[in-house]
Amino acid sequence: MPAPPVTADLVERFEQQGDAYKSGQYNEAQLRKEFVDPMFKALGWDMENISGYAEGLRGRYPRGCD
């Protein structure tokens, strides 16, 4: 199964602006919001807990694998 197109877009954006992202001014919360969460969401993960799982189960399985 090929990767969703959004993953290539995220990688390209990171490569183009990598210096800014690697600076001390770009923090972990920003990284997660702009790259990590969108990447997992594109791969089918339930990042917003649409399925309503308890805290300990959130984000553990891609949608449709529960």
14 pLDDT above the threshold of 60: yes
Give the pLDDT of residue 30. 92
Percentage of residues in the chain having pLDDT higher than 70: 83
Q: Which of 30, 34, 38 is nearest to 7 (CA)?
A: 38
Q: Where are the domains of the chain?
A: 5-57
Residue 66 has pLDDT above 80, yes or no: no
Give the pLDDT score at 64.
57
Residue 8 to residues 26, 46, 50, 66, Cα–Cα distance (Å): 21, 20, 25, 27
Cα separation of 25 and 31, whole Å?
11
Other Cβ atoms less than 10 A from the Cβ of 64: the count is 8
pLDDT at 38 over 60: yes
3-state SS, residue 17: coil
Tokens 């919001």 label which residue?
33
Average pLDDT over residues 24-48: 89
